[in-house]
A and B are shown apart, each in its own frame.
Chain A
Amino acid sequence: MSSDAIAVGGVLLDEPTWGETLHEWVTTVDHKRIGIMYVVSALLFLLLGGLEALIIRIQLMYPHNDFVSPQVFNRMFTMHGTTMIFFVAMPILFGFGNYLVPLMIGARDMAFPRLNAFSFWLATLGGLLLYFSFLGGSGLYAAGTAPDVGWWAYAPLTSRAFSPGSSADYWTIAVLVSGFGSIGTAINLIATILCMRCPGMTLGRMPLLAWLYLTMAGMVLIALTPLSAAQIMLLIDRYLGGHFFDTQAGGSATLWMHFFWIFGHPEVYILIIPCFAFMSEIIPVFSRKPIFGYPVMVAATVCIAFVSMSVWAHHMFTIGMSSYANSFFTITTMAVGVPTGIKIFNWLGTMWGGRIQFRTPMLFAIGFLFQFLIAGLTGIMLAASPFDWQLSHSYFVVAHFHYVIVGGILFAIFAAFYYWYPKVTGRMLSERLGRIHFWLFVIGFHLTFDLMHVPGLLGMPRRIYTYEPGRGWETLNLLVSVGSIIQAISVLVFVANLIRSYWKGARAGKDPWDGWTLEWSISSPPPAYNFAAIPDVASRRPLWDRKHPEDPDSRYE
């Protein structure tokens, strides 16, 4: 994808062959190429995870449907959840971080380029291992293929007695390996952001994206590692005869739940904070105003990171904790809404009075604001433990977290794609296809996930493979499934746009959006070395200063 000509001794070499190109990509340590590979691999897994979602929805379209067997259904929701969290959302966000952070802080690469490549290949091989389970999961016992223990893999279902064969091991090792990759990337991001900034870029002048990725990487260090530790314990149980989660020998299934959710809830924030980062870059540019309340945004982010570490057991209200624990986790969960609300107000404050340009990235950003707010409101509802006792394990919960992950995270990721695709490829994504993508996706999303709350309220449990007619769930489930098909079509439009625009899109030039951060100061796609001369920064919007030397930001900060 790089347009650099390779010159040796002043002689231009011929176009590299296929094999040479492949070799270059596989062995690359360039943060931009690694970022692209992260994103492309995540998109492939997105298609797989989406296919699994469609299978789930087709099965649930009608009562007593037998599109797939109960066993296959279990595998589908397990693989769907695991794929989407670990092999779509994480790598896509790390990919954007890898690509953007060095460019935005004026560095030529990440702090540890080889660790970067190593982390990427770990994460990707983890994903391949997970999908290899379809072939190798049956093990010697010829039992099961893909993992079917649910994405949180509660004990004792994962013990040898209940999960014979190797399917649970594929899940464990795939997630463990990709987790090591994530920790490597997090270390790299922290070292890059703290140690590689260009002259003048103090912490208070960093683009918010860098601040938010720094926070996210810090959370990965503390929150992903408990999962790694729990996975090691599970492997000790399964392979060495340990008893960590073996209830027959006094082990505790609840302990696994705690360990899993100590990871699991901060994970949501690990995913959403980079999305906040995209919003904090996109909304100002398309509102033609600097971000409102920069220091408060940073403080709110760090505050979210701290508070979100102590909310995990709101996933466990129904297991019977003490009333003190219930109250504590209810209060902390509601408290985390405060800094999040501050952020939403600041984005609105940025838009307020701005000359808003409704380009595709901004459309998705506005969709994000609206939907993320609603997702937060149902989150507050579920945070109240008595309410949760009624609706835990129902489709209401499924609707809530898909509202966060699809309505929030995925919309933000789409916005980021439309915003930075010109920088990465040198071509604009088609606005027309972008609008079709946006509106189809909004319609499909709301049809699916607005309505999905209702069968939950009517008592439909999650993870059931079929249901009786006559409970008032039929029409709703049919509409939910239709919505999911509309979303699938919309994603195909998006993929078509990505592919078509790569060759046919309008030339982007350096700075198609009239941006203010350093990545827009260099050519699109950027050269391998990023900056010919390391830039010097005097404010939060270095490009504004260059474009408006008569009225630079540095005068006011």
Chain B
Amino acid sequence: MEAASALELEPTRLVDTTPSWSLPDRGKVGMAAFIIAESAIFTIFVVAYLFYLGKSLTGPTPRDVLETPIFYTICLLSSSVTIHLAGQRLGRGQPVIFLVLWLLTIVLGGLFMYGTAQEWHRLIYERGLTISTNLFGTTYYSLVGLHAFHVTVGLLMLAIVLVSGLAGRVGTAHSARVDVLSLYWHFVDAVWVVVFTVVYIIGR
């Protein structure tokens, strides 16, 4: 093989014989890089939202139509806690409690999406605000929609884990992968803190 090559003095060692050599987990690093990229995308949408605040030529304005979704925000933020606890339980080898907490996370995320759907329905059908109404509509639906899109993708991935878990295929061995998915979910929640601050606090 290669080791028996022209350079006889090739010093080779197998990876597992060097316990001192440890590198970061590629899943976590990959997800962290992905989160940095996503943060840049969200930053641009947030900048656009702030830049166009109060520049709409026609109504309605944020002050007229927006209502602070406190309950649904609490739902989403607490889902970060439940997913964290779920991951811990999986690591300790308690798959049933893991599944219960995981399901709770999905329910909380689903509630948040229901809240967004309700809010959009009210804005569109009662307040007549669509994405093409004015600059506020364009930037509001884009920013909140981009976040909702990320929550939806997150829910789909959580659901895949749930189904696998119900089929008995998620165990302690998968703990690291589940943690990578939790990282994404925490990110989606953190983005909501920013979006909430920008749209419902600064924006009004």
Measuring CB to CB, which residues of chain A are less than 8 angstroms from any residue of chain B? 111-112, 115, 183, 186-188, 190-192, 194-200, 217-218, 221-226, 228-230, 232-233, 236-237, 240-244, 249-252, 255, 259, 262, 510, 521-523, 527, 531-536, 546-547, 549
Q: Which of A197, A222, A236, A250 contacts B52 (CB 8 A)?
A: A250
> Residue of B at shortest CB range from A547?
B7
* Residue in B10, B24, B51 whose beta carbon sits within 8 Å of that of A195 in the complex: B24
Q: Quick one: given A186-B37, A230-B44, A536-B12, are A112 and B132 in contact (CB under 8 Å)?
A: no
Contact with A along B1-40 (1 / 0, CB 8 A): 1110111011111110010010111100110011011101
In the bound complex, how far is the Cα of B56 from the Cα of A547, in angstroms?
Answer: 70
CA distance A482 to B182 in the complex (A): 60
Contact of B9 among A115, A225, A546 (CB under 8 A): A546
Compute how far the CA of A194 lies from the CA of B31 in the bound complex, rounded to whole angstroms: 13
**Of the residues B7, B9, B14, B44, contact of A259 by C-beta under 8 Å:** B44
CA A243 – CA B138 in complex, angstroms?
6
Cα distance, A67 to B16, chains bound together (Å): 67
**How many angstroms between the C-alpha atoms of A243 and B131 in the bound complex?**
8
On B, residues with C-beta under 8 Å from A are 1-3, 5-7, 9-15, 18, 21, 23-26, 29-30, 33-34, 36-38, 40-41, 43-45, 48, 51-52, 55-57, 131-132, 134-135, 138-139, 142, 146
**Which residues of chain A are near B29, meaning CB under 8 Å?**
111, 190-191, 194-195
Contact of B3 among A195, A199, A532 (CB under 8 A): A532
**Chain B residues within 8 Å of A242, by CB:** 131-132, 138, 142
In the bound complex, do residue A523 and residue B2 qualify as a contact, i.e. CB atoms below 8 Å apart? yes
Give the distance to chain B from A402, nearest Cβ to Cβ, in Å.
Answer: 29
Q: What's the least CB distance linking A314 to chain B, in Å? A: 19
- Supposing A229-B45, A233-B48 touch, asked if A188 and B139 sit within 8 A by C-beta, the answer is no
Contacts of A233 in B (CB 8 A): 45, 48, 142
Give Cα distance in the complex from A232 to B2, angstroms: 49
State the CA gap A186–B24 with chains docked (Å). Answer: 17
A312 to chain B, nearest CB (A): 13
A188-B135 in contact (CB<8A): no
Task: Establish whether residues A226 and B40, one from each chain, have CB atoms under 8 Å apart when the complex forms.
Answer: yes
Given A532-B2, A533-B2, does the pair A243, B23 have CB atoms closer than 8 Å?
A: no
- Cα A192 to Cα B33 with chains together (Å): 12
Query: A190-B29, A236-B131, A241-B131 in contact; A536/B45 too (CB < 8 A)?
Result: no
Query: Do A183 and B15 have beta carbons less than 8 Å apart?
Result: no
A222 to B34, CA, bound (A): 10
Q: Contacts of A536 on B, CB cut-off 8 Å?
A: 11-13, 18
Is B25 touching A222 in the complex (CB atoms < 8 A)? no
Q: How far is the CA of A192 from the CA of B132 in the complex (A)?
A: 43
- Shortest distance between the CB of B151 and any CB in chain A (Å): 17
Q: What are the 3 A-B residue pairs with the smallest beta carbon separation, nearest first?
A: A241-B132, A229-B44, A532-B2
Contact among A191, A194, A244 for B138, CB-based, below 8 A: A244
| Min distance, Cβ A153 to any Cβ of chain B, angstroms | 16
In the complex, the answer to whether B33 meets A187 with C-beta atoms within 8 Å is: yes
Interface core residue of B18, B30, B45 (most chain A CB under 10 Å): B30
Q: A195-B25, A240-B131 are in contact. List 6 more A-B contacts (CB 8 A).
A: A194-B24, A196-B26, A226-B41, A226-B43, A521-B10, A523-B2
A188 to B33, CA, bound (A): 9
Q: Are B13 and A199 in contact (CB under 8 A)?
A: yes
Q: How far is the CA of A221 from the CA of B26 in the complex (A)?
A: 17
Complex interface: chain A residues within 8 A of B1 (CB):
532-533
Q: How far is the CA of A195 from the CA of B30 in the complex (A)?
A: 10
Residue of A191, A230, A249 near B33 (CB, 8 A) is: A191
Nearest-CB residue, chain B, relative to A527? B2
| With known contacts A191-B26, A243-B134, A250-B135, A199–B15 Cβ distance under 8 A | yes
Query: With A225-B41, A249-B57, A522-B2 as given contacts, are A534 and B26 in contact (CB-CB < 8 Å)?
Result: no
Of all chain B residues, the one with the shortest Cβ separation from A189 is B33
